[in-house]
Structures are given as structure tokens and as C-alpha cells.
Chains A and B, each alone.
Chain A
Amino acid sequence: MTHATDSGPTPVLALDGVSKSFGAVRALRGVSLELLPGEVHALAGENGAGKSTLIKILAGVHRPDAGRVLLDGAAAAFHGPADARDAGIAVIYQEPTLFPDLSIAENIFMGRQPRRALGLLDHRAMLTATAALMARLGVALDPERPARGLSIADQQIVEIAKALSFDARVLIMDEPTAALTGSEVARLFAVVRTLREQGAAVLFISHRLEEIFAIAQRVTTLRDGAWIASEPVDGMTEDDLVRRMVGRDLDELYPKQDVVPGEVALSVRRLTREGVFTDVSFEVRRGEIVGLAGLVGAGRTEVARAVFGVDRWDGGEVDLDGRRLVNGAPSVAMAAGLALVPEDRRAQGLVMGMSIERNIALTGLRTTVRAGLMDRAAERRRSVDWAVRLRVKHARIADAVSTLSGGNQQKVVLAKWLATGPKVLIVDEPTRGIDVGTKAEVHRLLGELAADGVAIVMISSDLPEILGMADRVLVMHEGRIAAEIPRAEATEEAVMAAATGRAA
């Protein structure tokens, strides 16, 4: 059962025909992947393509239903994350989980601190070892500094140092750059290159294609859980990669209809929430789709929350169709015709244990009422109507919404809000974690709504989505609107430049 068929080094870690299902959802179908020592391997794919499942299999969190995990060419069975760690596999997540009140050194050696005689902690040995790790990574971080107050970038470096202290040979980096600034990304990449030169195998996941081209030697693309290609990065273009990820031309995925904008539907003026966003002003007209772009943490979601009323604002005003909205009152915003499809559908969009019917009904409790009591027939009709209109695939409308796939859950959230007949619809990451087909459906729906005169604000970290759907793009940077770019001039470069604060 020797595996190495091709010439070249044996992969440190490999997947061979791995499949994994969760209930009816086939997250991975016969996926293969080879991680070579001294190579950075990028994993590309849309949300829901199966990347996180693949990582969890490599990290020993999930076990494959079929196929093999190969460690140094030999089949390995990880019974848990500890097994994978002992095998030299480390995962660096987007959001590091350090103990804020412990020092960097203590965080690195948590639970296995070096001891002296009598079982006392050998503090000095720990500091020396940490300093050595930092030197190896080529960064200057004081081992005695507490983790509290470290930037996310520095926290990730601590996590990497921790991985090295476990003698990790395989480093899996799950969207490490999502929350980093440009210079922090550059520093992280320097560390990654150092590791690569020292012979580590790195699996790098990022939604930013330019980063894949900057750091990786090879790239494996997944789509809808299936392996599409593994190939050298040299000679590929971003368009090639997008085509592999999406599997169709972008025009089809972004069916933007041309609309002549009507009168102003939403007007936000000098909206400020201290420490979160400042002086945010914009208008959205009927029929218009306005994209709200920016890095994670730039304040996009926070602005949407404040406009809708789930958070309070400290200054500014919001008018909807000429009606002044009340600070911190979602019910007033709803009555005025505002709908918000929140970014986290499991925590904010849906009551997971409740039925599809009741979830959709939640926004209609004031309307499906007769003489103060629930009108159950009207309630059911409303829910069924919208579930059908959005083509929610479900067994029974009374089934718990948790039984649906992610894409169908998102449709239920949309149904729940469209049923209120909004004049202004804010969608926050409307297609995160849903499959390509449903994604296209959501986009078509948004296009149709705009054509019907609904004003739409679309927040998305998915740049192609913003560029494909929006009439105008507002870019936020550090809590302010940094740029407004009309559709004709909106390119990835222009948006990213503004999002990272490089625009004038």
C-alpha cells in the first residue's frame, strides 16, 4: 500500500479519495490532496465548497466516511485532535484563542510547562524556549508580555510559535488574513516563508485570490465538496482560479438587472456609534443595490445593526421613506418598512429549534392577528406562500428549520423578511456558507426585488459578489466610509485599496 507514485518527495500529509457526509449533505466527495514539505499549498473554493470539513478531517476533528488520511505515505487514523497534534499537524484559526491574562510564554506552554525538581515551574526555561521560537520565526515579541492587548496578527504568531513548540510539520492556516491589515499580512507571509524554508508543509486558506498567488506554490480547488484540480500556481491567472471555483461564468452567477434608481428610500446621516463607526452618511434609492464592502471589523455590520435598531447609535439620524427612525427600536424600523437579513443566520436569523412556518411567522406576529389573537390560518398561509415563492426545499413546513441545509435556511431567513414587504432591505453576507446554485438564486432574487423598486443594501466580504451585484459600492475602513465607487469603476483593486486605507 505504498502511495508515492509520482516522483518527488513523499507528502507529509495527504488525503486520498476522502468523502464525508453530514446527514443528507455531502460535504466532501472523493477529495485528494498532497501536502509536501517545504511547500505552501493553497486551498481554494467558495463558501460551502468543503474547505472547513477538509481542515477538520486533517485536524482529526472529523473522521472520513470513505478514503484515507496518509501520514508520511502510510494510512493514519486520527481519533481526535490530540492524535493529529501528536502527528505534527497544527491548525491556526482565524480567531486565535489565547488566555488573555497569561503571558505569551505561558500561553505557548499551557498545560506542559517545563518543570524543575519538586514539580515547580521552570519559568526561565519557558522564557528561553519562547525566545528561541520567536527568533526562529524572525519576530520580536516579548515572551513575558500578556496576551491581552496583542493584535490579532501577533496572536496568530503566538499560535504559530505554539504549533512549532509541538514540533508541527504541517501547518494549516484557516483564513489567517481575514482580519489583518496589509502590513500585518506581509509580516505573516514572511513568517510563513521562513517556515517553508525550514521544511514545513503549509496549507493556506484565503478568500483573497491575490494572497494565494503571493504565497502558494500549488493550489487545490474544491467546488460543492468535489475535488476540481490541484496544480502549480505558476502560469495561472485569477480568472482561471475563479472559473475553477465557480464552475461557470460570472455573468450567470450575478444576474444584475439594469435599473433606473427612483427616489431616496433610505437616508443615513452622520451616524456615529462611539468606538465602532463614525460619521457614516449614505443614501439608497428605490431600485438600487448598494454594496457595502470593507474588511472584517471595518464596521459594516455594526452600521446595519444600528440602522435597524438592534444596537443604539450615539449620534446622527436615519430616515426611511421620509420617516425618522427611532434609536434602538427594531419594531419601529420594521413598521417603517426596513428589513435586515443578519449575518449570522443560526444565531440571529433563525430560531433553529422552531419550525419553518413559525420562523417565517415571527416577523408577522402583528399582522396575522384577529381580535388580538393569532390567526393561525393566515399565519400558515403567509409562511407557506413565502416558502414556496423562495423555493425552500423542505419536507414539511412544520419541520424544525434546523433540518434544512444552509442554503435553504438562508432562504427561510429571506422569506421571513420578504414577507414583511420591505421598502428597504439590508442583507448582511446573504450568501455566506451556501452552495453555488442557491447563491445564484439569491442573487437573482435580489435583482428582481431591486427591479420591483426595493432599495437594497448588500454587505458582503465576497468581493466578486459586490462587484457583480451592486450599482454603487461604499467601502468602509476603520469605521468610516472611505470611498464611494460607481459600478463602472468598481474593481477588486479599487475596493481593496479603499478597504485597506490606501485610497485617497
Chain B
Amino acid sequence: MPDSPGFAGPGSTGAAGPEATGFPLARAVRWDTVVGVLLLVVLLLSFGFVDGFGNGLNLSFLIGNTLPIALIALPMTLLVVAGEIDLSVASTAGLSGAVMGALWNAGMAIETIIPLCLLLGVVCGLVNGLLVTRLGLPSLAVTIGTLAAYRGVAQIVLGSDAVTDFPTQYLDFASGRVGDTFVPYALPPFLLLLAFAFVALHATPFGRSLFAVGANEEAARFAGIRVRRHKLWLFVATGFMASLTGVFWALHYASARYDNATGLELSVVAAVLLGGIDFDGGKGTLGGAVAGVFLLGTLQNVMSLLDVSAQSQIVVTGVLLVLSVLGPRVARQVAQARAGRRAAGRPPAVAVPGDSPPASGAG
């Protein structure tokens, strides 16, 4: 069932990382392709062996529950490619859900509330972005700080209330699906956003610059790229998407609470790194990231179906996070070692003891 948008690109989209070192084999085994194949394998296995996986309802659950990760993963991918990170996204989502609940309780119209929440997300992103680009602080530290701060504000705004009585047509849109199919209503808008992010990263001068910024910020600056402005935009976009996710979350689960989406940043970062976006910046494809997102989402869905506890699921997410940082590195080293051996094996070969099988006695 190739419904996963993750397959839109991995193999063909050219962000030409240095993994593409030359010989065709290495290009074929790029990490994002590996993740795409892995997703396919996991999906096939799940269809075959997991009870209740393949029906339309479960699949729509899978997609609907994965959408929050996927939505934030779009800007997060660009951000990590540019060498930064935003860990405050889940708190921003929680805050915008809390504000949405509080304003709804105060009697404001939902049509007014949602734009306000999105604006709030923009402000949250702007704060992160200004702290990072104007004061030169590391985004990891800044957004750990705002992770706590935004969540704290969310609790102040809404306390321990849970707001559930949003208008039905909104709730239906966020949690329903098209007829009996596996397609949630929210999927087509997501695909639009995905296409937009894909073009932005892989087909515009802006996206092209991000790879340079992430790989070597100084060289990017020396090439006339407006590094700080680019980064600021990315933080703003991330804040916007996080608050959009917060709104979606509250409607999807019909519950606005201050602790909505707690820990979601872990899943987003895990998924993005799993998809082959290098934590050090400068490498990766959006296709890979989205494949990573849906791989994580599928695993979580399958674990739920198999009655794996929520706590154990977090353990799996954490392990995946570590593996996804480790995996591409190991793959790169293997590729380098192979390239090195090939280089060593060329005509004027230096005699390496034990590397030349038909060694004729003493050297």
C-alpha cells in the first residue's frame, strides 16, 4: 500500500550528500533509501502478521496519530539541515492548544481563535529565532529553555482544565476520514504542505542555501548567503507549524489541555534523524525525513496493536533516536572503508601485509 508520502522522493531527490561518493552501489544505499525500504518492509510485515493492522480504520488512525509528528517534521527537517534544532515545538503545540481552550472557554469564536493561536506560534518561533540569531546562543540550549517556559505558560493559561466542547465540524475534520477509506480528512492538506516544504528545500535557492549553511556556516556567509535571516525564517516557520499541530492535536483528540503533545519533540527529532537528516547539518532529504516519520508512526501503531505499554514505546523511540544518529555514521564509515580499500587496490598498490591474498612468500 504505497500511500505513504515518504516514498515521494528518497531515491530520486538530489540533495547530493557526500555519501554519493561515486560508484553506483554507494548511491543506491543512501540512508534515506534504506529508511524508505525499511518502512516498506515494516508495512508489509504488519499487513501480513499484525491482527487489525490492515483495515482502513486502523490505517486512518495510524496516519492521523502520525500527522502531528509529520507536520512538525517538515520545518524541523529544514532547521536541522541548516544546523539548528528546535526542542520547544511540543511545548509550543501545547501552549497553542491551551490558549485555544482558554479562549474558547472565554466565549471567543473558533474562527478567531485559530488564527490567534497560529500567530502565537509565530511569536514563539520568533523568540527562539531571535535568541539564536541575534544573541548567537546555541539553539539546543535556547529551545530547552523555551521548552520549559512555553509549557509553563500553557499551564498558567489553562491550569488543569481540559476543554473538550469544540464545534463538531472541526472535531470531525480533525479526527474523521473520507468515507470508509484509510484517508483522514487532514491528510490532503498535509500533502500540500509536504509538497510546499519539498519544493522549498530541494528546488529553491533558499533550500539550496540551507545545505551550505548547515554544512559550513562560515563558507555560506562568505558566499553572500544571509545566514541569520534564513535561520530566523526557519524558527518562525517551525513555531507556526508547531502551533498548527497544537490546534490539530486538540481537535483530533477533542481535548485541549496544557500537557498536550508532551514529549512530542522527542518523536519529531527521532523521526527526522532516522530519516537521514544529519544532526550536524548540511545533509539529508525531506523524503527521507518523512519516511522516518511514518516508520516511527507505523512502529508505534503496531506496538499499540500488540499491547506494548506506552512506557515501552517511549523506550523504543529513544533507542531509535540513538540508532538513527549512529546508523548513517556507521554506513558512511563502511562506505569510506570500502572506497579506501578500492583506492588501495588500484595499480601501484602498496604492499599491505595480509591484504593481498596470493602473497608469494616473504616480502
B18 on interface, CB distance cutoff 8 Å: yes
Chain A, interface residues (CB within 8 Å), range? 35 or more
Q: Mark each residue of chain A from 320 to 358: 1 if its CB lies under 8 Å from any CB of chain B, else 0.
A: 000000000011011000001010000111111111001
Shortest C-beta distance, B345 to chain A (Å), equals 14
Assess whether A23 is in contact with B343, with CB atoms less than 8 Å apart: yes
**Bound state CA distance, A347 and B223, in angstroms?**
12
Known: A334-B224, A374-B208. Contact between A347 and B21, CB under 8 A?
Answer: no
Cβ contact within 8 Å between A363 and B223: yes
In the complex, the answer to whether B18 meets A400 with C-beta atoms within 8 Å is: yes
B-contact bits for A356-392, CB 8 A (1 contact / 0 none): 0010011101100100111000000000000000000
Evaluate contact between B203 and A373: CB separation under 8 angstroms. Answer: yes
Expressed in whole angstroms, the Cα–Cα distance for A416 and B204 within the complex equals 19
Number of A-B contacts (CB under 8 A): 85
Determine if A310 is an interface residue (Cβ-Cβ < 8 Å). Answer: yes
Q: With a CB–CB cut-off of 8 A, which chain B residues contact A333? A: 224
Q: For B224, give its contact among A331, A351, A358 (CB under 8 Å).
A: A331
B220 touches A351 (CB 8 A): yes
Q: How far is the CA of A340 from the CA of B218 in the complex (A)?
A: 13
CB-contact partner of B226 in A331, A355, A373, under 8 A: A331
Report B-chain residues with C-beta under 8 Å of the C-beta of A342: 222
B216-237 interface bits toward A, Cβ cutoff 8 Å, 1 = contact, 0 = none? 1011111111100000000000
Residue numbers in B under 8 Å from A369 (CB-CB): 205
Chain A residues contacting B16 (CB-CB under 8 Å) are 354-355, 358, 398
B16 to chain A, nearest CB (A): 6
Q: A residues within 8 A CB of B17?
A: 353
Q: Closest chain B residue to A21 by CB distance? A: B350
- Which residues of the partner chain A approach B283 to less than 8 Å between Cβ atoms? 353
A352 and B216: CB pair below 8 A? Answer: yes
> Which residue among B20, B208, B224 has the maximum number of chain A CB atoms within 10 Å of its CB?
B224
Q: Are B219 and A351 in contact (CB-based, < 8 A)?
A: yes
Q: For the complex, is B282 an interface residue (Cβ under 8 Å from A)?
A: yes
Q: Does B215 contact A (CB under 8 A)?
A: yes
Asked whether A395 is an interface residue with its Cβ less than 8 Å from the other chain, the reply is yes
Q: Does B209 contact A (CB under 8 A)?
A: yes
Q: Complex: how many Å from CA A499 to CA B18?
A: 43
**B87 adjacent to chain A (CB < 8 Å):** no
Does the CB pair B20–A398 fall under 8 Å? yes
Instruction: Kindly provide the distance from the CB of B181 to the nearest chain A CB, expressed in whole angstroms.
Output: 33
Interchain CA distance A372-B16 in the complex, whole Å = 21
CA distance A254 to B282 in the complex (A): 39
28 contacts between A and B (CB under 8 A): A65-B350, A308-B222, A310-B222, A330-B221, A330-B223, A330-B224, A342-B222, A348-B218, A348-B219, A350-B219, A351-B216, A353-B18, A354-B212, A354-B215, A354-B282, A355-B16, A358-B16, A358-B211, A358-B212, A362-B209, A362-B223, A362-B225, A372-B204, A374-B208, A396-B22, A398-B20, A399-B21, A400-B18
Known pairs A330-B223, A333-B224; list 14 more (Cβ under 8 Å). Answer: A23-B343, A65-B350, A331-B224, A348-B219, A350-B216, A353-B283, A354-B282, A358-B16, A358-B212, A362-B220, A369-B205, A373-B203, A374-B208, A402-B18
Residues of B in contact with A (beta carbons under 8 Å apart): 16-18, 20-22, 199, 203-205, 208-209, 211-212, 215-216, 218-226, 282-283, 343, 350
Partner-B contacts on A (CB < 8 A): 23, 65, 308, 310, 330-331, 333-334, 340, 342, 347-355, 358, 361-363, 365-366, 369, 372-374, 395-396, 398-400, 402, 416
